[in-house]
A and B are shown apart, each in its own frame.
Chain A
Amino acid sequence: MSEKYCIVMENISKSYAGVEALNNVSIDIRKGEVHCLIGENGSGKSTLIKIIAGVIAPSRGASITINEKHFSKLTPIDSMHQGIQIIYQDLSLFPNMTVAENIAVNQLLESDKQIINKHLIHEIASNALKTSGVDLNLDTLVGDLSIAKQQSVAISRAVACGECLIIMDEPTSSLGKKDIEYLFKIIHNLKSKGISILFVGHKLNEIFEIADRVTVLKDGKSLGTHDIKDLTYQSIITLMTGKSLMISNYEKDYPSAEPILEVRNLAKKSQFQDINFMLYPGEIIGIIGLVGSGRTEMVSSLFGLNPSDIGEIFVNGKHTSIRSVQDALKVGICYVPEDRLSQGLFMNHSIKNNITVTLLHDLLNKLGFLESRKVDRSSTDWVKNLVIKTPSIDLPVKQLSGGNQQRVVIAKWLARNPRILIIDGPTIGVDVGAKEEIHKTIKNLARNGMGIIFVSDEALEVVQHSHRIIIMREGRIKEIIDSKGVSETDIFEKLV
């Protein structure tokens, strides 16, 4: 094996309960390169990186070569000793300990030292900071740092014992533009020191900015490794989805009546400002912006979760004050949150109870008690409407598939018959087939007069499924455009 490679993996397979997570995947990473691993949810990305980190063992027949040593599988210790470190999406830091302690902890554990002192910790930490090129006060508590700075601590920690390869799992998912630049600067620094980076992501614009080579995974199989120079947005999308680029053909089929929602001068300190737009009945607006653009913050302010400092909101022409969720519900605004599992569902509760939780006061009988007939009827109706596959409305929601869970959350809010529905990330965690169905449902709702706003990360999604697109950047609305005739590439360019 030439010295060019840091790690070479061949014949990597892994099955869970009869389902193949990975099927004969091969991948190699060169020294000092930034190698991006992309693929949709369920493509096997996270399984692969866990195998490299030694957290999971691959099926038999796998061959892993690191620094000319051969393994058929790795343990976390093996991985660590070979200089591989993984930075999880949640960073796995200790908020109650200092920067220095967080950085030094992995190396200290590896070296099995028992007695330590501040000098030693500081020494390890400053060395790591020098390598990663990060400048931080060693004695600050990590919990007091911003997410971007916390991430640089996590990277420095990885650098302290990762001389060969650092795996980053979706590192940009919580970062704003400036922070992403900061991150990329650090990555370039690491590259120059000969450390390889395996960058798992899905935002194409970032991939193009940082990657040297790209490996695409789809349904557990590798679609090959390509030099970034040989790729375009279109070719990657085609690889990942199997579809070719589509230009929006969404027709404006709603009457331009009075706006159902009008937002003027909405602003909240350090989150968003100058937000002005109108939503018409039957219209679908897609809001797109990188995380940090203020989109989720702005949209939650419309739902009362994060009330704005200044600005006015008009619903059907009437001025309303939205300072709490109850206020929003009163005027018919509903919000389907981004993180369905933790923000939208009661996992151990039945489908019936999940759907009716927002309706409770409407399902009472004359004595003020919940009428089970009404509850059942309401739930069954919605299960039918949204085609939720289940043999019974009493089934706990945790037993449903991801796509059906999504539908339950949407059903919950549709059951309130909202005037305006805000959906954050409508198809996150949903496989391609279900995505189309969810958007079909949304379009049907719009046709019946509902005003819909959805927030998305994916340019393709907003281009294909909305009437107008709001592009947000750094807390402001950059542009509001008609989706007709627009392609994703156009959107990408406007985003950065």
Chain B
Amino acid sequence: MHKHQVLSKLFFKHETMLFIIMIVFGVVVNSINPAFLTAENLFDILKTSSITGMMALGVLIVMISGGMDISFTAIATVSMGITVRMLIALGTGNIIVAFIIAGIIGALLGSINGFLIHRFNLPALIVTLGTSNIFHGLLLSILKVPHLYNVPGYYFAFSKLSFFSFTTADGTVVGLSSLTVLLFVMAFIVWLTLRFTMLGRGIYAIGGSREAARRAGFKIMFIDLFIYSFIGFTAGVASIEYVAMFRIVHPFNMMNMMLNVIASVVLGGTSVTGGSGSVIGTLLGVWMIYMITNSLILMGISSEWESVVIGFIIIFSIGINAFQKSLRKIEVKIIEN
């Protein structure tokens, strides 16, 4: 018992360990390719990872509560597809309206998940596997031409916005991208909610013990609906960020991001069985994943390896987490019996 307590205290501050690993990693990669630790590259990582980061915040909430959602990329794709087309058809619109509409669509789709899971007590995996296919399939069946290359200029204009810009030694101008700022804002809101509201306590409570949460009087239905609507909302917002950055509406690209998002959250220290997880850890996880994929490119390793690496990371980080936990559990069980 004592040995494991010490071990888990060591890993306890998962976030600090991750941060240290990130720094070490950065230094190592930089020695191979000095282009890595440049301001330009780092800010670029921040910018590009914002999309994943936004969705990761949603996944974080779901995982803390002990749930699961594999439909969020489908929700993102659908929100993107509907919102952009709708605004084009209406002839008006700006980036803020786009964000709001996509967010609402995402939240609505997510609430369907929440309703089904709560009302019928179904496994979240099964429900979201089903809705993922339903949402994505409907989008692709209804739209004759799923790709959209001519998007209004205000999307890209948004991504070009940057704050606190400065000029580096070699003349390039770098700044904090609007996408990153958006991520920070959302992260802050999530952090506030988790820390300072009963809703936040409720999310952790359900993750700790759903039955105890029910007995204590938490409004389980409300919290369930909130969780799944929220991940839908963040997926919707992330989808507009995607359009802003890449200037296209694509029916498949965001679908492939799912595993990266989940890997980020898991790497960030969120327990796979629920009950714990932090915003800081998630952000660090997102950046770490991006650093890894970015460094693969910089080191000239072909992109196919990304899947392999991500797969390894998921397995490895969950593995350590799960193994530790199970050791503790077995001992406690035998002693108590």
Question: Which of the candidate stretches A94-102, A221-229, A394-402 sits at the interface with the other chain?
Answer: A94-102
Contact present for A93 and B212 (CB under 8 Å): yes
Cβ of A350 within 8 Å of any chain B Cβ, yes or no, is no
Tell me the minimal C-beta distance from B234 to chain A in angstroms: 22
Within 8 A of A (CB), among B196-239: 196-199, 201, 204-205, 207-209, 211-213, 215-218
With contacts A174-B336, A271-B335, A300-B334 known, is A92 near B216, CB below 8 A?
A: yes
Partner of A95, one of B198, B209, B335: B209
- Specify which chain B residues have a CB less than 8 angstroms from the CB of A297 in the assembled complex: 334-335, 337
Cβ of A62 within 8 Å of any chain B Cβ, yes or no, is no
Q: Is the interface of B mostly helix, strand, loop or mixed?
A: helix
Contact present for B209 and A108 (CB under 8 Å): no
Within 8 A of B (CB), among A105-163: 105-106, 108-110, 113-117, 144, 147
With contacts A109-B198, A114-B198, A115-B197 known, is A94 near B336, CB below 8 A?
A: no
Cβ of B128 within 8 Å of any chain A Cβ, yes or no, is no
Contact present for A92 and B217 (CB under 8 Å): no
**Complex-state Cα separation, A117 to B201, whole angstroms:** 11
From A337, which residue of chain B is reached at the shortest CB distance? B337
Contact present for B205 and A94 (CB under 8 Å): yes
Partner of B208, one of A88, A95, A108, A115: A95
Cβ of B52 within 8 Å of any chain A Cβ, yes or no, is no
From B328, which residue of chain A is reached at the shortest CB distance? A143
- Specify which chain B residues have a CB less than 8 angstroms from the CB of A271 in the assembled complex: 335
**Complex-state Cα separation, A61 to B13, whole angstroms:** 58
Contact present for A97 and B204 (CB under 8 Å): yes
Give the interface size bracket for B toward A: 20 to 34
**Residue among A105, A110, A114 facing the most chain B CB atoms (10 A cut-off):** A105
From A301, which residue of chain B is reached at the shortest CB distance? B334
Within 8 A of B (CB), among A15-43: none
Within 8 A of A (CB), among B258-286: 271, 274-276
Cβ of A82 within 8 Å of any chain B Cβ, yes or no, is no
**Complex-state Cα separation, A113 to B211, whole angstroms:** 21
Contact with B along A360-402 (1 / 0, CB 8 A): 0000000000000000000000000000000000000000000
Contact present for B196 and A300 (CB under 8 Å): no
- Specify which chain B residues have a CB less than 8 angstroms from the CB of A115 in the assembled complex: 196-198
Q: Is the interface of A mostly helix, strand, loop or mixed?
A: loop
- Specify which chain B residues have a CB less than 8 angstroms from the CB of A116 in the assembled complex: 196-198, 201
- Specify which chain A residues have a CB less than 8 angstroms from the CB of B336 in the assembled complex: 147, 174
| A-B pairs with lowest CB-CB distance, top 4 | A96-B275, A94-B208, A92-B212, A96-B208
Within 8 A of A (CB), among B32-59: none
Tell me the minimal C-beta distance from A270 to chain B in angstroms: 8
**Residue among A96, A305, A306 facing the most chain B CB atoms (10 A cut-off):** A96
- Specify which chain A residues have a CB less than 8 angstroms from the CB of B274 in the assembled complex: 96
Tell me the minimal C-beta distance from B226 to chain A in angstroms: 13
By a beta-carbon cutoff of 8 Å, the part of chain B in contact with chain A is 5, 196-199, 201, 204-205, 207-209, 211-213, 215-218, 271, 274-276, 334-337
**Complex-state Cα separation, A453 to B211, whole angstroms:** 37
Within 8 A of B (CB), among A299-348: 300, 305-306, 338-339
Q: List 12 A-B contacts (CB under 8 A).
A: A93-B209, A94-B208, A94-B212, A96-B275, A96-B276, A97-B201, A110-B217, A114-B199, A115-B198, A116-B197, A117-B196, A174-B336
Partner of B337, one of A76, A113, A300: A300
**Complex-state Cα separation, A414 to B198, whole angstroms:** 53
- Specify which chain A residues have a CB less than 8 angstroms from the CB of B335 in the assembled complex: 271, 297
Chain A residue total in the interface (Cβ 8 A):
31
Contact present for B337 and A338 (CB under 8 Å): yes
- Specify which chain A residues have a CB less than 8 angstroms from the CB of B208 in the assembled complex: 94-97
**Complex-state Cα separation, A95 to B271, whole angstroms:** 13
Contact present for B201 and A101 (CB under 8 Å): yes
- Specify which chain B residues have a CB less than 8 angstroms from the CB of A76 in the assembled complex: 217
Cβ of A196 within 8 Å of any chain B Cβ, yes or no, is no
Tell me the minimal C-beta distance from A363 to chain B in angstroms: 30
Contact present for A114 and B275 (CB under 8 Å): no
- Specify which chain B residues have a CB less than 8 angstroms from the CB of A296 in the assembled complex: 337
- List 6 additional A-B contacts (Cβ < 8 Å) besides A92-B216, A174-B336: A92-B212, A92-B215, A93-B212, A113-B198, A116-B198, A117-B196
Tell me the minimal C-beta distance from B105 to chain A in angstroms: 27
**Complex-state Cα separation, A297 to B215, whole angstroms:** 32
**Complex-state Cα separation, A147 to B274, whole angstroms:** 21
Tell me the minimal C-beta distance from B106 to chain A in angstroms: 24
- Specify which chain B residues have a CB less than 8 angstroms from the CB of A305 in the assembled complex: 334
Tell me the minimal C-beta distance from A395 to chain B in angstroms: 27
Contact present for B275 and A105 (CB under 8 Å): no
Contact present for B218 and A109 (CB under 8 Å): yes
Contact present for A114 and B204 (CB under 8 Å): no
**Complex-state Cα separation, A96 to B200, whole angstroms:** 13
**Complex-state Cα separation, A174 to B337, whole angstroms:** 8
Partner of B201, one of A88, A93, A108, A306: A108
- Specify which chain B residues have a CB less than 8 angstroms from the CB of A94 in the assembled complex: 204-205, 208-209, 212-213, 275
**Complex-state Cα separation, A431 to B216, whole angstroms:** 33
Contact present for B216 and A105 (CB under 8 Å): yes
**Complex-state Cα separation, A105 to B208, whole angstroms:** 13
Tell me the minimal C-beta distance from B201 to chain A in angstroms: 7
**Complex-state Cα separation, A338 to B333, whole angstroms:** 13
- Specify which chain A residues have a CB less than 8 angstroms from the CB of B207 in the assembled complex: 96
**Complex-state Cα separation, A76 to B215, whole angstroms:** 9
**Complex-state Cα separation, A76 to B217, whole angstroms:** 9
**Complex-state Cα separation, A97 to B197, whole angstroms:** 14
Tell me the minimal C-beta distance from A303 to chain B in angstroms: 11
Partner of B204, one of A93, A96, A117: A96
With contacts A94-B205, A116-B196, A116-B201 known, is A106 near B213, CB below 8 A?
A: no
Contact present for A109 and B217 (CB under 8 Å): yes
Tell me the minimal C-beta distance from B336 to chain A in angstroms: 6
Contact present for A114 and B197 (CB under 8 Å): yes
Contact present for B204 and A306 (CB under 8 Å): no
- Specify which chain B residues have a CB less than 8 angstroms from the CB of A174 in the assembled complex: 336
Tell me the minimal C-beta distance from B189 to chain A in angstroms: 14
Contact present for A92 and B209 (CB under 8 Å): yes
- Specify which chain A residues have a CB less than 8 angstroms from the CB of B275 in the assembled complex: 94-96
